[in-house]
C-alpha cells in the first residue's frame, strides 16, 4: 500500500506555479468580506474524524458574526484540480494524496490571517499535543487570543459518521472521501494525551469541552453541539467522562437506524461484498445495546 501511495503521489504531483495560483485563489475567497480586528482570536477545534467539528465551526462563526476565517485543510482538498478523479478511483487514499497540498494551502491562509489580524479557526484531530503547542505559541506571539474547543464524541458515533458521509457523497457526487478505521482509531486514541499536553502547557486563554447530542428531542440547550465545560480544572477527565458515558435508549435507537441507513445505501449502489463486510466488522450490533457511546 505504501509503494502504491508513493507512486500515486508522484503521478499526481502539481507544478509549483499551479500550487501557488490555487493558494492565492483560496486566500482571496476565504478572506472576502473579513475585517481585521484590534484583538484577534484564533480558535482551534479538535476532535477525531467524523466527530462533528464542522458543527462547532458553525457555532463559532455565529459567535463572531461571520467575521472569522475558516482555515480547515479538509476544505481545500477538493481544490486539487484532479480531486474528483482521485476521490472516485482512490477513495481510501484520497486523504493522503491531497494532504500535502491542503496542508500547505491551510498554512498559507493561517499566515495571511496572522499578518492581517483576522480572526480565524483551525481544525485538528488533536493527534500531537506538542505540535499544537508550537502552533499556539506562534499564534500567541503574534498577539492573538487563543481558544481550544475540544469535541468529546464516542468512537462508534464518529466511525458511523465517516461511513454515512462517504455514502452520501457517493450518492450526490459519484465520488467520496473515506477515512480508514485505522486512521480514525489512531487519532481517537491520541486525543487524551494530546489534550493533557496542551492543557498542562498553560498557553491557552480558554479551553472548552463540547459534547454532541444526536437526538433532536429533549433539552433545547443540548441539541446538536453544546458546551459541557469552560476552562475546567480537569479537562481530560471531563472529556473522557463524556466520551465514554453510557448510551441512552434514544441514542441506541439512533445508532441502529443510521447503521441500517448506511447498509441500505451500500446495497442500493451495489457496493462490493467486501465493502459491506468491512463495514459490518467495525461493530457488533448485537452487543451495542447497553454499551458505552
Q: What is the pLDDT of residues 1-20, one digit of tens each?
A: 678 878 888 888 899 999 99
Contact predicate 209/150, CB 8 Å? yes
Give Cβ neighbours of residue 58 (< 8 Å, ≥ 6 apart).
none
- Supply the pLDDT for residue 84: 84
pLDDT of residue 285: 47
Task: Return the C-alpha cell found at 173.
Answer: 457526487
pLDDT tens per residue across span 25-43: 999 999 999 999 999 999 9
Given a cut of 50, whether residue 291 has pLDDT beyond it is no
Domains of the chain in start order, with CATH, are: 2-155+175-245 (3.40.50.300)
Q: Identify the H or E element spanning 145.
A: strand 145-152
Give per-residue pLDDT as tens, 188-202.
999 999 999 999 999
225/255 Cα distance (integer angstroms): 17
pTM to 2 decimal places: 0.87
110-127: pLDDT as tens digits: 999 999 999 999 999 999
Amino acid at each position: 500500500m505504501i509503494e502504491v501511495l508513493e507512486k500515486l503521489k508522484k503521478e499526481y504531483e502539481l507544478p509549483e506555479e499551479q500550487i501557488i495560483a490555487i493558494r492565492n485563489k483560496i486566500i482571496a475567497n476565504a478572506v472576502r468580506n473579513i475585517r481585521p480586528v484590534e484583538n484577534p482570536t484564533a480558535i482551534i477545534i479538535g476532535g477525531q474524524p467524523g466527530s462533528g467539528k464542522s458543527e462547532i465551526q458553525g457555532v463559532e462563526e455565529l459567535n463572531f458574526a461571520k467575521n472569522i476565517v475558516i482555515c480547515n485543510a479538509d476544505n481545500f482538498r477538493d481544490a486539487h484540480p484532479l480531486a474528483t478523479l482521485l476521490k472516485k478511483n482512490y477513495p481510501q487514499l484520497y486523504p493522503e494524496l491531497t494532504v500535502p497540498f491542503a496542508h500547505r494551502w491551510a498554512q498559507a491562509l493561517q499566515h495571511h490571517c496572522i499578518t492581517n489580524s483576522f480572526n480565524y479557526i483551525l481544525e485538528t484531530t488533536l493527534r500531537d499535543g506538542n505540535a499544537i503547542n508550537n502552533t499556539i505559541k506562534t499564534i500567541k506571539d503574534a498577539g492573538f487570543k487563543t481558544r481550544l474547543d475540544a469535541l468529546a464524541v464516542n468512537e462508534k458515533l464518529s466511525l458511523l459518521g465517516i461511513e454515512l458521509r462517504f455514502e452520501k457523497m457517493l450518492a450526490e457526487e459519484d465520488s467520496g472521501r473515506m477515512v480508514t478505521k485505522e486512521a480514525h482509531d489512531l487519532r481517537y486514541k491520541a486525543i487524551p494525551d494530546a489534550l493533557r499536553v496542551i492543557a498542562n502547557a498553560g498557553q491557552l486563554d480558554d479551553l472548552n469541552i463540547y459534547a454532541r447530542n444526536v437526538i433532536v428531542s429533549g433539552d433545547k440547550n443540548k441539541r446538536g453541539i453544546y458546551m459541557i465545560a469552560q476552562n475546567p480544572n480537569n479537562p481530560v477527565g471531563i472529556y473522557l467522562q463524556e466520551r465514554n458515558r453510557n448510551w441512552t435508549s434514544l441514542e441506541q435507537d439512533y445508532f441502529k437506524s443510521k447503521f441500517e441507513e448506511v447498509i441500505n445505501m451500500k446495497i442500493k449502489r451495489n457496493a462490493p461484498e467486501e465493502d459491506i463486510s468491512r463495514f459490518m466488522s467495525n461493530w457488533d450490533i448485537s452487543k451495542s445495546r447497553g454499551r458505552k457511546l
